[in-house]
Amino acid sequence: MSKDISRIRSRRPLQSEIRETILGEFILSGRLQPGDKMPSETELCEIFGASRVTIRTAMQGLKDAGYIRIVRGSGSWVLPRPESIHSGLDRLVSFDTFASNSGRPIDSGDVDIVHLAAGDDENTEIFDAADGFTRVSRTKLIDDRVVAFIVDYVPDTVLTTDEMRRMFDGSVLDVLLERGLAAYSDCQITPVVPDAEMSTRFGGSASALLQLSELTRDESGEIVNRSEAWLSPESFTFQLRRRREG
């Protein structure tokens, strides 16, 4: 097996980096097709210079996400690609990253980046002592079909509107992560029936949506972004691993 694996760059746990590198290099790249056998645990240990425990954790992550099937004592096989964008809720990553990791290219449409003064939008009332804000709204599309509508609010004290316009490339969260401004978020997912305006954004065919309301904070706990997203439940699947106490 070739050892030309892409260099690992970020500071996330090694098993997470290895999992996503395996996903990109072997599965999403098309190097291995559904039904093909994955490299053995020994081969992956050699490729990445990592322990068996780390490799097993990375492979378990791919199994949990529905990319591979693991047969104890026999090996791992690539499964058919998930139809929906699939991710756990424990990772602070953007919808664009969710889509990329699922092999479903996602585009932005109807992007609108505007500056707001305090009091212009009730969604900014959650912030403390901010005089101005940037509101970024856009639709997200897969194969030219709208699968999400997202609105973000970022106070001027975090990033100015001009900075956001220069740096925005589909995801506000990616901008914040790149600048080291986002540490964690609290989010709530609620099934909703869209009103006429929201239904129109989805082509008039959405009878139900998932609304994800999220507050992202920096290391000190200050809110750096409020995000409201409406998602097509046919296109997004979220999972949460529950562990026993103790």
How many helices (H) and strands (E) would you count in the chain? 7, 10
Among the residues of the chain, which ranges form H helices? 14-22, 41-48, 52-64, 95-101, 161-167, 172-178, 196-201
CA 10 to chain CA centroid, nearest Å: 16
- Average pLDDT for the chain: 85
Q: Which H or E element spans position 239?
A: strand 236-239
Angle between helices 41-48 and 14-22 (to 10 degrees): 110
The one-letter amino acid at 201: R
Q: What is the mean pLDDT of residues 167-179?
A: 94
The amino acid that residue 61 corresponds to is G
> Distance between CA 181 and CA 150 in Å, rounded?
20
Nearest-angstrom CA–CA distance, 10 and 8: 6
Whether the predicted pLDDT of 128 surpasses 60: yes
- Inter-residue contact 103 to 81 (CB < 8 Å): yes
Q: Encoding tokens for residue 203? A: 């082509």
Rounded distance, CA 176 to CA 111, Å? 18
CB 148 within 8 A of CB 222: no
Report whether pLDDT(2) > 60.
no
Q: What local confidence, expressed as pLDDT, does residue 3 receive? A: 47
Question: What's the pLDDT score for residue 62?
Answer: 86
CA distance 95 to 148: 9
**Tens digits of residue pLDDT in 90-109:** 677 787 877 776 666 789 99
Convert 101-148 into a string of H (helix), E (strand) and C (coil): HCCCCCEEEEEEEEEEECCCCHHHCCCCCCCEEEEEEEEEEECCEEEE
Burial (CB count within 10 angstroms: exposed 0-12, middle 13-18, buried 19+), residue 166:
exposed
Identify the weakest region by mean pLDDT among 14-18, 148-152, 233-237. 233-237
Amino acid in the structure at residue 59: M
Cβ contact 156:163 at 8 Å: no
What token pair was written down for 137? 């709204």
Other residues' Cβ atoms within 10 Å of the Cβ of residue 5 = 16
Look at residue 87 in the predicted model and tell me its pLDDT.
Answer: 57
- The percentage of the chain sitting over the pLDDT mark of 90, rounded to a whole number, equals 51
pLDDT of residue 6: 44
**What is the pLDDT averaged over residues 120-135?**
89
- Residue bearing the bigger pLDDT, 103 or 34: 34
